[in-house]
Each structure stands twice: as C-alpha cells, then as structure tokens.
Structure 1
Amino acid sequence: MISIHPLTGLAEICEGDDLAMLLRDALGRAGLWPLQKGDILVVTQKILSKAEGRMVDLTEVEPGEQALELAETTRKDPRLVELVLRESSAIVRAVPHILITRHRLGHVMANGGIDRSNIGPGGAERALLLPVDPDGSAAALSHDLASEGAAPAVVISDSFGRPWRHGVVGVAIGAAGLPALVDRRGEEDRDGRRLEVTQIALADQIATAAALITGEGAESIPAVLMRGMRLPPGDAPAATLVRPIEEDLFR
C-alpha cells in the first residue's frame, strides 16, 4: 500500500542551507530514517530555490524597454516582468493580468515560474526564481540522502495551471532515481490491443499525489516521503516530460 508522510518542522530555508541535512533530520523526526528501497522523496521547488539562492531583490531590478511595454499591457510590476523575460525563451500570451511564457527549461507557464508567495520575510519586495538545474539538484539530493545502500528517488515539484481547465496541479520539474516518463507504447491492453500512444507522466503523478499533503497555502509542509510504490525500472529526468516545440499540437 502506498503511504505519503509529511516532513514537518523545517525552519525557513535560506540561501546556502544544507537541504539534504535538513531533510534527513526531518525524516528522522518522522521516524522514516533510515530510508527503504523504493522510497520517493518529493521536495517542493520553493525550498530548493531558496537553498540555492534563487531569491531576487526587486528593488535591484531595472526594467528594460520591452519589460516596460509588457508591464503596461499586462498591468504587472515592470520589475517582475523584467525577471520573467530574463527567465524565458518566448512569450506565449500577454494580456491584462496574464503573462504566459516558455521558460528556458521548456515549461510553458505563467510568469516564467516566478513566485512571490510563501517566500518568507520581505516577500513584498522579493521574488523567487526556479532552480537553474532541477534535474541535477534532484540527483544531488538522491545521492546525499542515500542510506544503507538505499538512495531515494527524488521529485522536485511545482504547481502549474493547465490549458482549458481551472485550478493548478502538482508537476515535476526535476526528477532522479525513477523514470519521469514511462513509455508503454508497444504493450498490449487486456484485450490484446497494441498501445500506440500511451506514455505515462509518472513523475507528474507523484508530484500531484504529494501536493495533496504539501498544499498551496499556509500548510508549511515543503516535502513528503512516499513509501510503498512499486517503481518501474529505469531512470529518466523530468526534462523528458517537456514536449519539444516542433511537436506543439496547437500552433
């Protein structure tokens, strides 16, 4: 049976904090250390970005001409728009109160993934960027948290909206120790019909399950441990979940 365990008691994460050590302590307090084979640690993007120093002081951001024009169109803070442009490779949609871009990591998302909620003291004049290399960070955490020969799979989670549907869901922007995307094409269903297009976004499913615990508001649960799930073989990063631009079905 799959169980999901909240990791609580973590203090406000700051730049330079040893996140692996803090998570290990939280696992110990929860009675989940040492880890078991097959354990999956889901870590919210927010605490990873904080530890990696991805916080930006908006008072130090000078918006350029393009940012000023977009800010007028979207009615957003020009400094925030400037950061969005720096983090993005393309603008997908810019209308009042909405700015959707393609992030440099390939994700199509609002405001370039930049967050201003739950980022700690001084949040009104600060913004938090996505990690530079979330797949690499997931692999490093998996390595640093290995215990008694068991290295956990790690998923770095964030919350995305979805086209044509209200609400956000958890998604994986980083993953290690599991196949983020499981390709089942070529297998047969129970009626013997060959699967032709079925690929499973396994890391996204795990991130969404974890989001039931981590929440989106003041829950203060920045990580969970998932135990009891039978993972398929393989190891593929979250980058494999990003559909290439040339496969865009809606342009």
Structure 2
Amino acid sequence: MTSYRVWAVPGLPEVQPGDDLAKLIAGAAPELTDGDVVLVTSKIVSKAEGRIVQAQDREAAIDAETVRVVARRGALRIVENKQGLVMAAAGVDASNTPAGTVLLLPEDADSSARVIRRGLRDTLGVEVGVVVTDTFGRPWRNGLTDVAIGAAGVRVLDDLRGGQDAYGNPLSATVVATADELAAAGDLVKGKAAGLPVAVVRGLPHVVTAHGEGEGEDQDGGARAMVRVAADDMFRLGTSEAVREAVTQRRTVREFTNDPVDPGAVRRAVAAAVTAPAPHHTAPWRFVLLESAGSRTRLLDAMRDAWIEDLRRDGKSEESVAKRVRRGEVLRRAPYLAVPCMVLDGSHTYGDPRRDAAEREMFTVATGAGVQNFLVALAGERLGSAWVSSTMFCRDVVREVLGLPAEWEPMGAVAIGRPAGAPAERAERDVEGFIAVR
C-alpha cells in the first residue's frame, strides 16, 4: 500500500454527557467502510462519559489524578496518571469546558474505543479500527502531537524485529508505534480549535484487525501495550527527581544474582564519587576494582584468615567464630567488589593533636561523602551494593594482597551486583527527629 487518505468528519454536534458517540459519528460519517480507522479526540469521549468535574482549582484536580510526579519545573508538572500515562498535568484539561469545570481523561480509553467500535459495527455494519487520541509533548522534542491513549481493532505496534531492511541487514530493535502515527496523521486535519474532533484514515486496512481478533481484554492490550513498563523505562524521572529517587532507593543488598556487572557502570559510579567535596582542594579517594574472581578470592581468603585469628585471640569459641565468619560472607556472594581507600595527600600537619585529629576527620568525612556518591550512582545504574567495613580492620592484609601503596587506607569494601530480589520497604523516619533548629 503506497497511499492513504485522511480527512476530518464535519457536522458533529456538541457532545453532552450520556451521548452515544458511535451513533453521532455514524450520523456524521455514514460513508465509513471496512478497513477505515476512526480517530476520536479524547475530549469528546470524556464529555460523553461524564468525566467533567467541578474544579475551581485545576491543580487540585491534577493532584487527584496523579499517581507519581515524574518531573517538576515551576508550575509545570509531568506526572504519571491513573491510566498509566506519563504526561503534563495528568491530562486534566480546562479548555472547551464551562468555567469552573475541568475535563479528566477517560477512565479506560481502550474500553471506550471498544465501545465505539462495536457501536459503529452495529449501526453501519462496518469493521473499522478506533483510536482515542490526546495531545502530548515528548522528551527531546519541542512541540505537541496527538498520540493514541486508547485503541480497538488496531495493530497498535508493528514489530519488525527479526526481519531485514532493504539492504538485508537484520532488524533487531524496530517496533513501530502505528497507533501513534495514525493519531498524528489525524491531528493534521482535525486541528486544535477547528471544532473537528473526529478524523478518518482510509487506505491502510492492514492495520485493522478482523472482527473477533483482539476484541477481548485478554487478546489485545489496546493502547496500553504502548506504555513502557517501569523496568524498561530509562527516562522514568526528571533530573532532580532521579537524584532523589536514587538516594532514597539505595539499599544495602546482601543477595545477588550471578549476572556479570558492567565495568563501565562501576567506572561511571567512580566518576560520581570523585565529585564529592574535600578539604584543601584535595582528592582523597582511590577505588580498587576487583574485577576478576581470582583477585576477589585471594583478598577474601586472606581477610577471613586474619579475622579468624583476631577472633580466636579475643577468646571467641569456635562456634562463635564460625557464625561470625558466615555473617561476613556477603562480600563473597557478590560478583564484583570495590575497595574504596583514603589518601591524605594535601593534608596539613599542625603539630597540635587537637587540630591534627580534626584534619584527619575532615578527610575521613570527605571519603565517606565520596563513597556515598558511589553507592547512589550504583543505585542509579540499577546495581545493588553493600558497604562492609571489614577491610578497615585488616588494612595491612588488604594492602599486601592487592599490592597497594602504604599511604592508601582501605575504608571498607563494597559488594556490587544485580539484586536477587526486591529490597524490603524502608521504614519511614520522622525527619524532625534528626533536626535541631536554633
């Protein structure tokens, strides 16, 4: 198929709550035929379904429809709404509706599309596809366009993976958003202020499913199939929200999968670590990355032996020694280890024990800030971590096994890997309990 035609449907009346949209569309477009795609602006669907609410304060209506704030800049909010759509203002619209009211999006736009499709089949005897559209802005692009928020009888995604391009190259990532392309085509002829809320695309019958194909909830996800799930969404949050999310989602992970860790991700986390504040314009951080199983085993075996010796020297029973060693095995269960170290290059010596102790504390705090940056950045890479203090108790052993300079002071070890399960919910803490105001 090399061509298609798209036109707006004139003659539709002002839609009122309770109106049968299929009958209104059939009356205005009796020429509909099999294989057409009917594009319906969500605003008239919302009106017909009574999604008009009294709201002197649009912001309160947005709050009520919001599940999650994705990004915020001034008064503008990009949010995930109850329908799972990520968009500005949760889709709450105060235009083309009486003063003091706002329009909410259809509760289930896929269901709305199915109702319209069945109605057109019953009224006109035609098999058409139906797409419910709304206006979206898009990441990385200026301007607005219509996209599909509901669909019935339409192949919303055209999965070309496994095929070949014109040069015989395999297609491995190409999934075309057909329903969005249809919605955008219709928007060219509907217009935002022309009072033409319905358009028809003719000449693309291959995008329309046959009667009974994908009609049921179980067979066809409708436009919902186009919403990227959280696990696959690389841009789930705005900048400031992503920083807060990474900080709050950082957890101590003690069980890891066997999946290999991307060394590049760890190096990006180190790059974040070395942006931490430090005294005297110094850089007190060093990170030893144990990327081979052999290096990890040699270090952990030597540390275990030193620890057992210390515990026995402390008079611990063999049972107590074995129990403590088992508790410390989190590092051995991780597929990747990093040993952060502190160096005191650039530190000042005052000859005053009090001031010298404070100087060392400043460097220790700076090292901790770097490690915190490191852990948060790992969380941003979807890597779990556990910061374990054990290397601080056997620094000589660590330096000897890893061949580190004498001035490098190991400050624990970080176990890194893909979490084996979802982290436990963190108990809420009353922030006021950590604040003193003077």
Establish whether TM, by shorter chain, passes 0.5.
yes
Match for residue 35 of structure 2? 38
Measure the CA separation in 2 of the matches of 1:106 and 1:153: 22
What amino acid does structure 2 have at the position aligned with 1:109? M
Aligned to 2:115, the other structure's residue is in SS state helix
Higher mean displacement: 98-107 or 232-241: 232-241
**2:85 aligns to what?**
107
Larger mean Cα displacement after TM superposition, 83-92 or 219-228: 83-92
* 1:246 match: secondary structure: helix
Task: Give the whole-Å Cα distance in 2 for the aligned partners of 1:89 and 1:159.
Answer: 19
**Shift, 1:230, TM fit:** 3.5
SS at match of 2:116: helix
1:142 aligns with 2:142: no
User: In 2, Cα distance between the equivalents of 1:95 and 1:190?
Assistant: 44
State the partner residue of 1:20.
Answer: 22
Q: Superposition pairs for residues 78-89 of structure 1, below 5 Å?
A: 79-89=57-67
- Contact residue 15 and residue 44 of structure 2 kept, 8 A: yes
Q: How does 1:1-251 map to 2 (within 5 A)?
A: 1-28=3-30, 32=31, 35-59=32-56, 79-119=57-97, 122=98, 124-146=99-121, 149-216=125-192, 218-232=193-207, 235=214, 236=220, 237-250=222-235
Shift of 1:196: 0.5
Quote the residue 2:339 is aligned against: none
For 2:120 and 2:141, locate their aligned partners in 1 and report how far apart those are by CA, in whole Å: 37
In structure 2, do the counterparts of structure 1 residues 167 and 12 end up closer, same or farther at CA, with 3 Å as the change threshold?
A: same
What is the aligned residue count?
223
Distance 1:233-1:223 versus aligned 2 partners, 3 A rule: closer
Unaligned runs of 5+ in 2: 215-219, 237-438
Q: Partners in 2 of 1:241 and 1:130 — Cα distance?
A: 17
Q: CA deviation at 1:94?
A: 2.3
**Which whole-Å CA distance do the structure 2 matches of 1:95 and 1:178 have between them?**
36
Change beyond 3 A, Cα 1:84–1:150 = same
- Which whole-Å CA distance do the structure 1 matches of 2:8 and 2:26 have between them? 13
Work out the CA distance in 1 between the residues paired with 2:185 and 2:29: 19
Distance 1:185 1:178 in 2: 19
* Cα distance change of structure 1 residues 144 and 86 upon mapping to structure 2, 3 Å threshold: same
1 or 2, which has the higher strand percentage?
Answer: 1
Once the two structures are TM-superposed, the CA of residue 3 in structure 1 deviates from its matched residue by 1.1
> Which residue matches 1:67?
none
Q: Shift of the alpha carbon at 1:148?
A: 6.2
Structure with the larger helix share: 2
- Does the residue aligned with 1:158 lie in a helix, a strand or coil? strand
CA displacement 1:115-163 (0-9 Å, x = unmatched)? 11123xx2x3110000011001101111110166532100001110011
- 2:76 maps to a residue whose letter is I
Moved more, 79-88 or 7-16: 79-88
Q: State the shift of 1:233 in Å.
A: 6.7
Q: Output the CA distance in 1 between the equivalents of 2:71 and 2:184.
A: 25
TM-score normalised per structure 1? 0.84
Q: Match of 1:114, as an amino acid?
A: V
CA RMSD of aligned residues (A): 1.6
Counterpart of 1:238, as a letter, is A
Q: Which 5+ residue runs of structure 1 have no aligned equivalent?
A: 60-78
SS in 1 for 2:199: strand
